[in-house]
Amino acid sequence: MQNLNRADVARMNSIYGYLPQLSASATYSEIDQEVVQSDNAVFNEGTANYPVTSLRVDLVQPIFNLSQIFNIQLQTTAQTVAEVEYIAAVQRVSFDIFVAYVDAAQARAKARSLTARAALLRSQIAAENTRVELGLDTAAVRNNYAVELASLSSEEAIEQARLADALAELSQLTGTTVTNIDTVTLPSGIRRAERSTSIAAGIAAAEDDNPALLATAISVVEAELSRRQAIAADFAPVLDAFASFEDETREGSRFGGGSQTRDTTVGLRLTIPIFNADGQGYRTAVETVDLRSSALEYFAIRRQLRSQITSTYERMSNLSDAIAQSQSAVSLASRNVTLERNRVASGESTELAVLNRQLSLNSAQDALEFQQLEYLKAWGRYQFLTGASLQARGL
């Protein structure tokens, strides 16, 4: 925002460069004169000491200054760049908040899944303890469950740390203290969103709407205007009209009497740069290099954007396939839990088998939720890359 404000001020200052330049000055001097030697008999009158008061007003009006004309266009373009960069910054922060929020949701969901799995393992360990006491099994199976439980506790601690980091990042990005988030799910309207677009459509949308790319493209125009301004400053003539008024009062002189004079001067001044006019060499060569750099940066960012859109689109497609497989796995695992419970009710199975089925269901649900949130992040990244606003999507 401050860059935008600065660009607006710079544009106004460039306009002032073509407006009249008016200045006034007042000077008070004490003059002590002594004629040491002169062939002029009048000048040999002797010495004098007197004050002088001078009032002066100067007015300069540029008539033709090609460099200033290009500077006005340059600063107007720079203001447009600042506006687009502001929009890009807003979208960047919005996307960063979106990603941090989903990361926090993933960490919390993973931690809860691990907690539920740990509870199932504790139930399995308790059941194995009973089997060991009855001599129906050895301690090896129970110990394996204990090892897995310890590993789950370690993973849960890591996910809690990830959650804390994501909440801290959200606090930093939003400027508020964030201690908790709402539950995040994949909206039904976003599922299989890649089917409604294509890589080519995404690239075309990015070239039209991605503010970061647009800002770089306009920067190329800005660099070209800067080069033209440099050419004008180095080689173009400048025509100014000027006027001055000076009122000078002398209280004395070498000739014994004081005087008051008023001088009015009006004229035209034509300045023609011939060689190294300002003693700084030629800006044109430097600005030409900057123009090439701006063009190279634009093409580099456009190539990078195309690559990112392609990879993000493919990631969305792969995640959609993975989600479909995970949904099938959850459905089958849930059906197995129901079947195993029915077998327990009929005396054909045990609660330990049900716990094993529930562990499989927990793992399948965990994978499905993770993939859905990963798809949500990929979808958000695709919107960001193509220049779509996440706020406009209600997120």
Residue 215 token pair: 């800002």
What pLDDT, in 10s, does the model give residues 217-273? 999 999 999 999 999 999 999 999 999 999 999 888 766 678 889 999 999 999 999
Residue 255 token pair: 């000739």
Q: Beta partners for 284?
A: none
Amino acid identity at 338: T
> Containing H/E element for 283?
helix 283-345
Residue 136: its pLDDT value, please?
A: 59
**CA-based Rg of the chain, rounded to a whole angstrom?**
40
- SS3 string, 128-190, reads HHHHHHCCCCCHHHHHHHHHHHHHHHHHHHHHHHHHHHHHHHHHHHHCCCCCCCCCCCCCCCC
Q: At which residue do the structure tokens 């793992």 appear?
A: 363
CATH number of 2-18+58-251+259-387: 1.20.1600.10
Per-residue pLDDT for the chain (395 aa), expressed as one digit of tens each? 999 999 999 999 999 988 999 999 999 999 887 777 767 666 665 677 889 999 999 999 999 999 999 999 999 999 999 999 999 999 999 999 999 999 999 999 999 888 888 888 888 777 767 766 666 566 666 677 788 888 888 888 999 999 999 999 999 999 999 998 888 888 888 889 899 999 999 999 999 999 999 999 999 999 999 999 999 999 999 999 999 999 999 888 766 678 889 999 999 999 999 888 877 888 899 999 999 999 999 999 999 999 999 999 999 999 999 999 999 999 999 999 899 888 888 888 777 788 888 888 998 999 999 999 999 999 999 999 999 887 755 55
Instruction: Give the long-range contacts of residues 23-26, CB within 8 A, separation 24 or more.
Output: 23/57, 23/58, 24/55, 24/56, 24/57, 24/58, 25/54, 25/55, 25/56, 25/58, 26/53, 26/54, 26/55, 26/56
Q: State the DSSP string of 306-335.
A: HHHHHHHHHHHHHHHHHHHHHHHHHHHHHH
* pTM assigned to the model: 0.80
- Distance between CA atoms of residues 3 and 86, nearest Å: 8
Query: Where do the domains of the chain lie?
Result: 2-18+58-251+259-387
- Distance between CA atoms of residues 277 and 113, nearest Å: 75
Residue 273 token pair: 């740069």
